[in-house]
Amino acid sequence: MINYTEKIPNNVDLGRDRVLQRALEHWQPAYMGWWYDMGPNESHNYEVYLRTAISVEPDGWAQFDYVKMPEYRWGIFLQPRDEKREVNFGIHKGQPAWQEVPGEYRSTLRRVIVTQGDTEPASVEQQRMLGASCPSMYDLRNIFQVNVEEGRHLWAMVYLLHRYFGRDGREEAESLLARRSGDADNPRILGAFNEPTPDWLAFYMFTFFTDRDGKFQLCALAESGFDPLARTCRFMLTEEAHHMFVGETGVGRIIQRTCEVMKENKVEDPSDVRALGVIDLQTIQKYLNFHYSVTLDLYGSDISSNAANYYTSGLKGRFRETKLEDDHVLAEAVYPVSEVVGGKIITKNVPALTALNERLRDDYIDEIADGVGRWQRVIDNAGIPFRLTLPHKGFHRAIGNFAGHSVSPEGEVLSEQAWKNHEFEWLPNSKDYAYVQSLMSGRVVELGKFANWIAPPARGVNNQPLNFEYVRFN
């Protein structure tokens, strides 16, 4: 008999919930099987300097120590309950927040939880080979931290499925371990989570762009009238912040290193920059274009009756719902949405309720723009005349009003032929990928050493020095 309280740190009284324990008895070995198969490659004996959450108190979710990843204690944490919390939007606004699943929303809510849950193991699968080409021990430790926390996020969603959705929930929990990123027959649910993450530039872009989609989805679900979901997502957000930090600083350090080398050697031409073994800014812009556009698709159709239903029923709110000053019902409100008409992009107002995907996407874009501005400052500080830009929202989109249209990064609607002529000036081509991967042919793990193509970080993890032994290989 497993002692769950010891093995799975939690604040949901796991030790006293027999139904939940029985469900987990079946699921936990399957999860471990998945981790051994699909978790970070060749890592099972490494001891990694990891942060483990053991409670939701500020000092409880930042416990650092060496851990073998298969022995990581994937805990189940909900933000403490606020007895006075209400449903804050939609037709049930003002009612007490739900502690059990409302019968009429059962299948919708299950779908929302499964869709979120599916992204968590997907990203672990996407990143599983990257340890073999890490640029430093510091970065290796960081990717492992992201991986175990995505594993914990899967646990967080599986907890909800097991606890509140009975047999259907248990079946969904099994399917979450059965789908595989990029698999032709049984892929992950959402497109961006089936794209490969072939190198470390892609990894940092992914954690900056796609983990941030995770943040915005979690923020919307953290407003849910279904209180256990809201409380689960609130705690997940504390970890998501670290993933975005890894992405933003990772790309920033690559840019910094490129700029240093460009200045030292007085070169600007991309082929001269590449000859010096760093990633040219043009290629960084192409990766940015790719990851930004595939992540924008994750928000779904610009006009969506599903999104309207989720909101009206109180299941999924807006970003910072309770801080917004309006009626939280959106009966009369309108919101601007773009579409392509006769070869031109036009914007029109539609009922705000139907445009909630678009609104969340716009909130996301605002935050992305700030981060890209911080990368730009690194280039500006080096005195290099290069501008990183966010492409137009309609660029390279496969979902929503822009799907099926060819839109340039500047927002010009192109013919298919014109798009084809320029596509690989805007998106990474096979040569770009091959070049980036040629820099990452092996791992750099000497203490305190960093690959030539990336600058060291400003500081180490948990106040440790940069030459700290973040991973023991045994």
Least distance in angstroms from the C-beta of 208 to Fe ion: 11
User: Quick one: 143 or 436, whose CB is closer to Fe ion?
Assistant: 143
Considering beta carbons, is residue 12 or 246 the nearer one to Fe ion? 246
Site for Fe ion in 194-213 (CB under 5 A): 211
Nearest distance, CB of residue 235 and Fe ion, angstroms = 11
Residue with Cβ nearer Fe ion (139 or 150)? 150
Q: Between residues 220 and 407, which has the closer beta carbon with respect to Fe ion?
A: 220
Nearer to Fe ion by C-beta: 123 or 301?
A: 123
Q: Which amino acid is it at 163? A: R
Secondary structure of the chain as H, E, C letters: CCCHHHHCCECCCHHHCHHHHHHHHHHHHHHHHHHHHHCCCCCCCCEEEEEECCCCCCCCCCEEEEEEHHHCCCCECCCCCCCCCECCCCCCCCCECECCCCHHHHHHHHHHHHHHHHHHHHHHHHCCCHHHHCCCHHHHHHHHHHHHHHHHHHHHHHHHHHHHCHHHHHHHHHHHHHCCCCCCCCCCCCHHHHCCCCCHHHHHHHHHHHHHHHHHHHHHHCCCCEHHHHHHHHHHHHHHHHHHHHHHHHHHHHHHHHHHHHHHHCCCCHHHHHHCCCCCHHHHHHHHHHHHHHHHHCCCCCCCHHHHHHHHCCCCCCCCHHHCCCCCCCCCCEEEEEEEECCEEEEEEEEHHHHHHHHHHHHHHHHHHHHHHHHHHHHHHCCCCCCCCCCCCCCCCCCCCCCCCEECCCCCEECHHHHHHHHHHHCCCHHHHHHHHHHCCCCCCCCCCCCCCCCCCCCCHHHCCCCCCCEECC
Here's the x/- map for Fe ion, 157-196, by CB under 5 A: it reads as ----------------------------------------
Nearer to Fe ion, 231 or 274 (CB): 231
In the list 92, 180, 231, 243, the residue contacting Fe ion (rule: CB under 5 A) is 243
Identity of the residue, 95 or 238, whose beta carbon is nearer to Fe ion in the bound complex: 238
The CB-of-74 to Fe ion minimum distance in angstroms stands at: 12
At closest approach, how far in Å is the CB of 197 from Fe ion? 13
Instruction: Give whichever of 153 and 316 is closer to Fe ion, judged by the CB atom.
Output: 153
Please identify, using beta-carbon distances, which residue of 138 and 208 lies nearer to Fe ion: 208
- Strand 413-414 relative to strand 406-407, pairing: antiparallel
Q: How far is the CB of 209 from Fe ion (least distance, A)?
A: 11
Match 């930042």 to its residue by tokens: 62
Q: Which stretch binds Fe ion (CB under 5 A): 34-42, 242-250, 300-308, 398-406?
A: 242-250
Angle value at C-alpha 308, between 304 and 314, nearest 5 degrees = 145
Smallest distance from Fe ion to CB 44, Å: 22
Instruction: Output 110 or 243, the one with its CB closest to Fe ion.
Output: 243
47 phi and psi, to 5 degrees?
A: -105, 125
- Which listed residue (51, 153, 291, 397) binds Fe ion by CB under 5 A? 153
x/- track of binding to Fe ion for residues 108-127 (CB under 5 A): ------------x-------
Minimum CB distance to Fe ion, residue 123 (Å): 7
Return the range that interacts with Fe ion (CB under 5 A); candidates 151-159, 246-254, 293-301, 444-452.
151-159
- For Fe ion, the binding residues in 222-241 under the rule CB under 5 A are 240
In the bound state with Fe ion, the residue whose beta carbon lies nearer, of 352 and 360, is 360
H helices, E strands: number in the chain: 14, 7
CA–CA dist 70, 87 (Å, integer)? 39
Question: Cβ 240 to Fe ion, closest distance in Å?
Answer: 5
Q: How far apart are CA 177 and CA 171, in angstroms?
A: 10
Q: How far is the CB of 150 from Fe ion (least distance, A)?
A: 5
**Amino acid occupying residue 27:** W
**Min separation Cβ 120 and Fe ion, Å:** 5
Q: Could you give the angle at the alpha carbon of 286 between the alpha carbons of 360 and 444, nearest 5°?
A: 105
Distance between CA 34 and CA 50 in Å, rounded? 20
392 binds Fe ion (CB under 5 A): no
Least distance from C-beta 145 to Fe ion, angstroms? Answer: 10
Q: How far is the CB of 218 from Fe ion (least distance, A)?
A: 8
Q: Kindly tell me which of 150 and 432 has the beta carbon lying closer to Fe ion.
A: 150
Size of the site for Fe ion (CB under 5 A): 7
Return residues touching Fe ion (CB under 5 A): 120, 150, 153, 211, 214, 240, 243
